[in-house]
Structure 1
Amino acid sequence: MRTFLGIASFGLVSFTSAALAQSTPSEFAELSFQALLDVDINEKDTEQSSPNRWSFAVQLKAAEFDGYKIDDSDVSLDDVLFSLGEEPRTSSNFPVVPTIIDQYAKIVQLGYQVNERLKLGIQVPFIHQETDHISVVPGYDHFVISSSGLGDIALSASYALEDNSEFSWWVTAGLSLPTGSIDEQGDTPRDAGDQQLPYTMQLGSGTYDIPVEVSYQNKGEHTFTVTLSAMLRTGTNDRHYRLGNNYKLSGKYSFPLSQSTALFTGATLGYSESIHGQDDEITIGGNFPYPASITNPDLYGGEKVSVFGGVSFVPIDWLKVVADISKPVYQNLNGPQPQELWRAGLQFSVLY
């Protein structure tokens, strides 16, 4: 398993370590789109076996958000939480404040190698998110909300523009289907009983979206890969909003420790737009319609730079394991907005 592993594993890493601003569960899960390329099929002996190959992968992902930023400056929870009777209400303080956001995803991926240049794939994500909150609303001084379920299913096609002994160019395009729920509900201080949850708790985008990526990799014992990618939204969902487009530039350097093990490191630069439109069901009346920052569509998006590192291991010829972790080193967010602390991924890929 050899030539294709470099560019393929970078597809996994660049999306797992994507440098986005505050991500909804939908965005968090869809970032593994390129992990479908994480199985080498190009250097098998095609004289002895068919070039048409199926591949299967399971990826586990986790991320945590804690603390707030306005632009690139840290702000405290006391600054974001509105204190009744002690300060005036403004557009930058709120009666409800999420404190810690934990996101988890399990993504099942199936790929089919049509020929040496073309691979098709499908990705099915399962998502879970938990968010801790503090509040000045009586009875809700501290509470936790969670959501779980199927995310947006993505279809993909990856094509090798050039793949020779010195370098490779790959382009990938796909279609993300609105299969994830955007009607998740929970018990919030907004009213008695269950109500519509904010954008950060919804499992899908609610729109048909188009992921695209172009990757270049030099070849040799030590490889370097550059990837430019985007997630482009289309239309408006039935709750009258659409998530912002995401754009990312990544670079990765990989070096082998042995025939079966390699280390990698790199960095990603990402930009994401704010949410367009608004879900009016998560707002309240009065001069300040947003009970929490995560209910304001303008307080999403921004810029982020992350560094990452990890290891890939091929214990047996038909199995590859990739583990990685990333950490933001710069975040400039439309805030006050929760900032990312870290994210990590673990993937098992099988060829048969």
Structure 2
Amino acid sequence: MRKFLRIASVSLVSFTPAALAQSTPSEFAELSFQALLDIDINESDSEQSSPNKWSFAVQLKAAEFDGYKVNDSDVSLDDVLFSFGQEARTSSNFPVVPTVIKQHAKIVQLGYQVNERLKLGIQAPFIHQQTDHISVVPGYEHFVISSSGLGDIALSASYALEDNSEFSWWVTAGLSLPTGSIDEQGDTPRDAGDQQLPYTMQLGSGTYDFPIEVSYQNKGEHAFTVTLSAMLRTGTNDRNYRLGNNYKLSGKYNFPLSQSTALFTGAAFGYSESIHGQDDEITIGGNYSYPASITNPNLYGGKRVNIIGGISFIPIHWLKVVADISKPVYQNLNGPQPQELWRAGLQFSMLY
């Protein structure tokens, strides 16, 4: 049993560079790798993991955003929506306002354990996002935009600095490839026909990025995991911007119910930067060039604290199922910015 848990849960060790604050689909897929760090540390360490083993995992993730915040204060849709003829246009109100944002991702992951200390992985996300809008533009009082496709593929290498019967230290470094589209188009009030969509609808970052992570797992009677991670962006994409760096500190505590079932709970603190640069194609002319908050690169990023809960279950020796849900308890956002309501995930890990 331990052999399976070691390989299937760690060989694709998760990146946790949180999709913090208002998240693009690319950032949402990055956060979804966290569950792969889960290790059952209550079993005996006497059985050694066999090298040269393949593992396969599929994760299904969902998140929803609704409502707005400026810093840590709630603001209403009426505050964010510009009312023509009733108020002055400012940098904090907009003729177009996203209302409900829904994100879904399926992440397929393949891992290979080179030896007891080194594990390699590759993960490919398939993303779908749908955003409802309201606006003051005639004919677009209510409209929906969606985008779907392959996100940024990531390669990873995980190395155990120490791994014994009491605790382990793992370091992971990776490379995220710009395989996700940043040229998604749709019908918006900005002009007739399809136009370039804002950052929240693009499937990739458009840059080569570097996820890194350090994690500690205690294997004693009180099993817990602490993880420090980051996603570091490089360069500028061909639309003259790059997403902000993300940083996260998270912890998780396990409550074993039996040899095959465990509950877990935890918390995470994350910080993300705003977007650097700007895609000029999603702006308009005039004194106020941003038709919606999601077109302003400065209205991304912020701080968030989430609480996490879930269950892991091993129905058969070669399959592990993990379900989790996360909800913010504190958000301080560069706003006005859509706030996150919840995230949920379901993961299936298999050993070959």
What's the TM-score once normalised by structure 1's chain length? 0.94
Matching of residue 118 in structure 1 with residue 118 in structure 2: yes
Give 1:346's aligned residue.
Answer: 346
Give 1:186's aligned residue.
Answer: 186
Give 2:272's aligned residue.
Answer: 272
| Cα deviation digits, residues 41-86 of structure 1 (max 9, x gap) | x96956xx95210000000000000000000000000000000000
Q: Note the 1:217-256 alignment, pairs <5 A.
A: 217-256=217-256
Matching of residue 93 in structure 1 with residue 72 in structure 2: no
- AA matched with 2:306: S
Give 2:300's aligned residue.
Answer: 300
- AA matched with 1:79: D
- Other structure's SS at 2:347 match: strand
Q: Residues 149, 26 of structure 1: CA spacing in aligned structure 2 closer, same or farther, 3 A cutoff?
A: same
Q: Tell me how far 1:225 sits from its aligned partner.
A: 1.1
Q: Residues 118, 16 of structure 1: CA spacing in aligned structure 2 closer, same or farther, 3 A cutoff?
A: closer
Q: Note the 1:142-153 alignment, pairs <5 A.
A: 142-153=142-153
Q: Tell me how far 1:6 sits from its aligned partner.
A: 8.5
Matching of residue 318 in structure 1 with residue 314 in structure 2: no
Matching of residue 196 in structure 1 with residue 204 in structure 2: no
Give 2:154's aligned residue.
Answer: 154
1:18/1:268 contact within 8 Å kept: no
Q: What is the rounded CA distance, in whole Å, between the counterparts of 2:164 and 2:39 in structure 1?
A: 18
Alpha-carbon RMSD across the aligned residues, in angstroms, is 2.4
| Cα deviation digits, residues 179-217 of structure 1 (max 9, x gap) | 000000000000000000000000000000000000011
Give 1:290's aligned residue.
Answer: 290
Give 1:109's aligned residue.
Answer: 109
Q: Tell me how far 1:175 sits from its aligned partner.
A: 0.2
- Other structure's SS at 1:298 match: helix
Give 2:24's aligned residue.
Answer: 24
Q: Tell me how far 1:31 sits from its aligned partner.
A: 1.8
Q: What is the rounded CA distance, in whole Å, between the counterparts of 1:225 and 1:332 in structure 2?
A: 26
Q: Residues 6, 345 of structure 1: CA spacing in aligned structure 2 closer, same or farther, 3 A cutoff?
A: farther
Q: Residues 234, 242 of structure 1: CA spacing in aligned structure 2 closer, same or farther, 3 A cutoff?
A: same
Moved over 2 A (4+): 1-19, 32-40, 42-46
Q: Residues 273, 296 of structure 1: CA spacing in aligned structure 2 closer, same or farther, 3 A cutoff?
A: same
- AA matched with 1:51: P
Q: What is the rounded CA distance, in whole Å, between the counterparts of 2:7 and 2:270 in structure 1?
A: 20
- Other structure's SS at 1:205 match: coil
Q: Residues 73, 50 of structure 1: CA spacing in aligned structure 2 closer, same or farther, 3 A cutoff?
A: closer
* Percent of residue pairs bearing the same amino acid type: 88
Q: Residues 7, 109 of structure 1: CA spacing in aligned structure 2 closer, same or farther, 3 A cutoff?
A: closer
Give 1:61's aligned residue.
Answer: 61
Gaps in structure 2 of 5+ consecutive residues:
none
1:4/1:39 contact within 8 Å kept: no
Q: Tell me how far 1:33 sits from its aligned partner.
A: 3.6
Q: Residues 75, 297 of structure 1: CA spacing in aligned structure 2 closer, same or farther, 3 A cutoff?
A: same
Q: Tell me how far 1:13 sits from its aligned partner.
A: 11
Q: What is the rounded CA distance, in whole Å, between the counterparts of 2:109 and 2:235 in structure 1?
A: 26
Q: What is the rounded CA distance, in whole Å, between the counterparts of 1:253 and 1:69 in structure 2?
A: 30
1:69/1:335 contact within 8 Å kept: yes
2:11/2:55 contact within 8 Å kept: no
- Other structure's SS at 1:79 match: helix
Q: Residues 90, 172 of structure 1: CA spacing in aligned structure 2 closer, same or farther, 3 A cutoff?
A: same
| Cα deviation digits, residues 285-320 of structure 1 (max 9, x gap) | 000000000000000000000001000001111000
Q: Residues 278, 159 of structure 1: CA spacing in aligned structure 2 closer, same or farther, 3 A cutoff?
A: same
Give 2:141's aligned residue.
Answer: 141
- AA matched with 1:30: E
- Other structure's SS at 1:88 match: coil
Gaps in structure 1 of 5+ consecutive residues:
none
Q: Residues 33, 27 of structure 1: CA spacing in aligned structure 2 closer, same or farther, 3 A cutoff?
A: same
Q: Tell me how far 1:329 sits from its aligned partner.
A: 0.1
Q: What is the rounded CA distance, in whole Å, between the counterparts of 1:333 and 1:122 in structure 2?
A: 32
Which sits farther off after the overlay, 288-297 or 221-230? Answer: 221-230
Which sits farther off after the overlay, 241-250 or 50-59? Answer: 50-59
- AA matched with 2:164: N
Q: What is the rounded CA distance, in whole Å, between the counterparts of 2:214 and 2:226 in structure 1?
A: 8
Q: Residues 44, 129 of structure 1: CA spacing in aligned structure 2 closer, same or farther, 3 A cutoff?
A: farther
What's the TM-score once normalised by structure 2's chain length? 0.94
